[in-house]
Chains A and B, each alone.
Chain A
Amino acid sequence: MKIMSLNLVPRNIPQRVIEIKAGHEAKRKLLALGIHMGDSIVRLNDSRWSPVLIRNLTTRSSKIAIGQGLARKILVGDDKL
């Protein structure tokens, strides 16, 4: 499994959240918005000029926007079988 940070992943390929290396404040907020380690998420856009837009497939969440800086601190791995 290839691990990379969320800001680098391509669109439409399910990823599993491996690690969140952010500060307490950001971690709490991510948890509150329903982003957990182990969740399967998918990126919906692939622009470097916008925040990263994702949807949580595990909880079937609404869309969540994450700033580029924070996305760099979220590690994900390819979630294919």
Chain B
Amino acid sequence: MTNYKVVLVGQPNAGKSTLFNVLSDIKAAAGNFAGTSVRITQSAVQLQGRVFQLLDLPGTYSLNAADDAEKITRDYLLGEKIDLVINVVDSTLLSRSLELTSELLELGLPMAIALNMQDEAEKRGLMIDHEKLEALLGIPVVPTSALHGKGVLHLMERCVLKLNAPPTSLPVFPYTAHIESLVQGLAGAMAPPGSGQNGSRRFYAIKTIENPDMVPAALSRPIAAQIAAACSQIRDFHRLECFESIAYERHHLAMKLSEAISGFVPRQTIHLHDRLDRFLLHPLLGRLFLIAYFLVFYALIFFSGNLFSRWLDPLLNRIPPLLLPLQKVSSLLWITADGLWQGLSGSLGVVLPYFLPLIFLHALFEDTGYLSRIAFLLDGLLHHIGLHGKAVAAFILGFGCTAPALYATRIMENRRDRTLTALLLPFIPCSARNAVIFALTAALAGPIWALVIYVFVLLVIAVTGKAISLFLAKPGGLIMEIPDLKVPSLRNALTATGRQLKEFASAVVPLLLLGSAAMSWLSHLNIGARIDALFSPLVHGLLGLPAQLGTTLVFGFFRKELIVIMAKQALGAASLSLLPLTSGQTVVFLVFVTLYFPCFTTFVVMGKELIVIMAKQALGAASLSLLPLTSGQTVVFLVFVTLYFPCFTTFVVMGKEFGWKTAGASAVLSVVVAALAAYLFKILFVIF
């Protein structure tokens, strides 16, 4: 039996991802590439003996993509073999959602509609007659409530029926007479679209007027004169740009449809949302709340991680003595075992305690919709460093991991804004570096220093952003939807945490073990000392740190070499894949494999000093405090570690998304900024 390919398409916040999560719970084989909504997510779903390839495409307001995330969806819809499009419609925003629906109808792929959040719409007094919509459009229309899992099975049953039934033609809704005749004229004159290209002649005829960039030259060039004539006619007649005229036509159709199928019963609506927003978006109170929110967020991670780490420490300390007998058997065996153990105890005792609360709280947080409110509050501030509010989403994600944050810049419409955001992103401490900051400050300097480092890093970002933007044009303006607040789902957060933990255990921990063993060997063979000597001018001379830390910083580069090989293999394999984002998805894979990889760098960075100690005592807060660093040195070191180029993954993702020149520039920039910033701190410590 064939493997059907079913895609979810809808406007942002329509509940696609929630629906996707519910559906992929019914899974056959897991092929789940989770991520933010700026990437294609897919999963195999088994239903009635059929295996479906289900894909969640990034949310898009229309097929006239405005940003790179929307382009992914558009390109996928135009270029891939798709058996069924499930158009996820936000019932609470019926008429606007139907504009995308009408565009999808023009595209002409087999379609079904999930009228999502219908319960919510009803609460607000919007009664929708889904049977009438089904009759009007001639395609399955199923009311769903993805959040509560309602209607989802029925939707899938209808989809199976639809897939098994012979194809039906979709309704054509004519435009205003004079535009319609122009469209028909263009469609008639146009050559049929090539094979492997979705979309009817009518679809492309409309797009020649509305968005010529979308139409393959093979279709538009032969009739260029006719297109120009049609456009100038429309312009003259409507006194609007052509794309505006078409947008108004579609808006009009969507309004007519929504009026035909829905009735509005004014209700005593609950103004709780609005009242909450008045507080959260208040220029003063909202910002105070934001600061308090972040303090609580990170304090929670700091203290729970510290607690967890202290609790694990005695347990982990029991192991090393058990390894000692190996020393008598063979020193090589002992060194390897010791290295492996350090890697394991490091991941369990240092990284995991901080990593776990961070990813869990992050997952909860992303669910609430507060992110767009932060963007709203910080828009003005970000204008000062040459950006606007939308950069916030990427920055906040960057506290988790830099790589997905780089993808998240896709929601920015403007190339300039995107690149600047991406250049600043590597300076945001990711969860790995957060763990190091927390672990080391907890052990050596105290929580207040963690705060100082954060504030300092943010200042560095501001200054760097300001400096770069002096050479750039002014930022674009902000236009952003502020979706309603949602109560975060504990289940979703736990699922996301579980998924990331599994990745951490299966992909990251082995690498930590290997690297740690290699580190142990390096030290045994005395190669480390030579590297230390080489980097001593920077590490010891400029920053005033023990020269032995040099190897650990360089070790990051060894690891990067390793990943290059993996990246090549993975990229080679990806060309076999049928997805359009092959290399992108490969990188996504790499992101997973190397997610939180800076942990490794930073862990190793710490590890060098720890090797002697760890032979006696497992890694943990207690042993970290034995590090021969003063609190001043700790802070200098942390500032450098936090700012210097985070990891190879980030480099690859940046190269893929922005070109290798940008990635190279970013690498140089971050090392220079890291050295300067750490030096500044050293000077401060000398003075005070």
Contacts and interface: CB of A to CB of B under 8 A. Distances in A.
A55 to B, nearest CB: 9
A62 B93 contact: yes
Given A26-B479, A31-B244, A32-B66, A65 B376 contact: yes
B476 interface: yes
B376 A33 contact: no
B413 A25 contact: yes
Contact of A62 (B282, B413, B477, B481): B481
Given A25-B413, A27-B244, A65-B379, A33 B281 contact: no
Nearest to A39: B251
A64 interface: yes
A24 B413 contact: no
Contact of B484 (A25, A51, A60, A62): A62
A32 B61 contact: yes
Contact of B477 (A26, A31, A32, A50): A26
Interface string B407-429: 00000011000000000000000
Interface string B125-146: 0100000000000000000000
A49 to B, nearest CB: 5
B380 interface: yes
A8 interface: no
A34 B248 CA distance: 10
B62 A51 contact: no
Q: Which 9 A-B pairs have the closest CB atoms?
A: A67-B478, A70-B477, A32-B61, A63-B482, A47-B283, A67-B477, A34-B96, A31-B247, A49-B283
Nearest to A36: B251
Interface in A1-35: 22, 24-34
Given A29-B413, A36-B248, A49-B380, A66 B61 contact: no
Contacts of B61: 29, 32-33
A65 B477 contact: no
Contacts of A51: 376, 379-380, 389, 478, 480
Nearest to A31: B247
5 contacts: A26-B477, A32-B61, A34-B93, A45-B281, A67-B479
Chain B interface size, as a band, is: 35 or more
Given A27-B241, A60-B95, A60-B126, 14 more contacts: A25-B476, A29-B66, A29-B413, A31-B251, A34-B93, A36-B248, A45-B281, A51-B379, A53-B376, A63-B277, A64-B479, A64-B480, A65-B389, A65-B480
B243 A53 contact: no
B93 A69 contact: no
B481 A33 contact: yes
Nearest to B62: A32
B483 interface: yes
B14 to A, nearest CB: 11
Given A31-B247, A70-B478, A25 B379 contact: no
B388 interface: yes
Chain A interface size, as a band, is: 20 to 34
Contacts of B64: 28, 32
Contacts of A31: 244, 247, 251
Given A33-B61, A64-B482, A50 B277 contact: no
A44 B274 CA distance: 9
Contacts of B62: 32
Nearest to A27: B244
A58 to B, nearest CB: 8
Given A25-B476, A28-B243, A50 B281 contact: yes
B663 interface: no
B549 interface: no
Contacts of B99: 34
Given A31-B244, A62-B93, A69 B483 contact: no
B377 interface: yes
Contact of A65 (B66, B241, B476, B482): B482
Contacts of B13: 62
A44 to B, nearest CB: 8
Interface in A32-81: 32-34, 36, 44-45, 47, 49-51, 53, 59-70
A29 to B, nearest CB: 5
Nearest to A54: B482
A59 B61 CA distance: 15
Interface string B237-261: 0000101100110010001000000
Nearest to A38: B248
A65 B377 CA distance: 10
B378 to A, nearest CB: 10
A73 B479 CA distance: 13
Contacts of A45: 278, 281
Contact of B379 (A24, A29, A33, A67): A67
Contacts of B278: 44-45
Contacts of A63: 277, 481-483
A35 to B, nearest CB: 8
A66 B244 contact: no
Contacts of A61: 93, 96
